[in-house]
Amino acid sequence: MKHITLIIIAMLFSITAFAQQTFDTDFTQTKTMKVSGKTTDKVGHIVFDGKDQLKMTYTKPDGDYFIIEGNMVKINMDGKKADLDANKVKMVGLQRSTLLNCLSGNWEQAAADNNAETTITEEKGEKVISLNAKGKVPKGGYRSVVLTYRPSNGGLVKMVLEEAAGIINTYEIK
């Protein structure tokens, strides 16, 4: 039993150490409406500093963006613009925190924030971290989050976020 525990602890440390801390690359996003099955595909570029600066600019549709600058979240999506203070809007604060923690490899904090259990598996040579809500999803939280990391360098290659309302956003990072 001690041997299995040591293997699991070593695996957890290796996944955390592998997590990529910065991004400057292209991505695709597929948004799926669970009830209708309707999907929307988007394409863009992501720049992440590993802390609290994130800029996602879309080329399809051109002009959309999602930006985190410290506690401010700036959104222009589908013709709707907003500048929100994550300290004042609790729901936005949780979404901001979850996204930044997932991107930086701090999935333990993302799980705690979303009242989720963590499962770690390996699929096709990639490390997959699944966070699944234990019960009621906090307002603005996620029912599930699935993170896929490339084992060779720990780079995040895929992130799937399922909102409580059933909207699923799948991000594939190049």
Give the pLDDT confidence of 39-48 residue by residue, as tens digits. Answer: 999 999 999 9
- Asked whether residue 13 is domain-assigned, the answer is no
Distance CA 114, CA 21 (A): 21
Q: Is 43 helix (H, G, I), strand (E, B) or coil?
A: strand
* pLDDT, tens only, 95-114: 999 999 999 889 999 999 99
Distance CA 1, CA 15 (A): 21
The dihedral through the CA atoms of 21, 89, 58, 171 has a sign that is: positive
Distance CA 52, CA 133 (A): 24
CATH number, residue 137: 2.50.20.10
Q: Which of 153, 74, 91 is closest to 173 using CA atoms?
A: 153
Backbone dihedral region for residue 49 (phi beyond 0: left; psi -120 to 50: alpha; all else: beta): alpha
- Asked whether residue 114 is domain-assigned, the answer is yes
What's the total number of domains in the chain? 1
Q: Is 93 helix (H, G, I), strand (E, B) or coil?
A: helix
- Asked whether residue 7 is domain-assigned, the answer is no
DSSP symbol at 89: -
16 vs 163: which has the higher pLDDT? 163
Mean pLDDT of 61-67: 96
Query: Which residues, at least 6 apart from 125, have a Cβ–Cβ distance to it below 8 Å?
Result: 151
pLDDT category at 151 given cuts 50, 70, 90 is confident
Cα distances from 65 to residues 29, 39, 74, 112, 166, in angstroms, run 12, 19, 8, 28, 22
Query: Which residues, at least 6 apart from 94, have a Cβ–Cβ distance to it below 8 Å?
Result: 113, 114, 138, 139, 140, 141
* pLDDT, tens only, 112-130: 999 999 999 999 889 999 9
- Asked whether residue 36 is domain-assigned, the answer is yes
- Asked whether residue 67 is domain-assigned, the answer is yes
Model confidence pTM above 0.75: yes
Residues of the domain holding 27 = 21-173
pLDDT category at 8 given cuts 50, 70, 90 is very low
- Asked whether residue 78 is domain-assigned, the answer is yes
pLDDT category at 136 given cuts 50, 70, 90 is confident
Mean pLDDT of 149-157: 83
- Asked whether residue 14 is domain-assigned, the answer is no
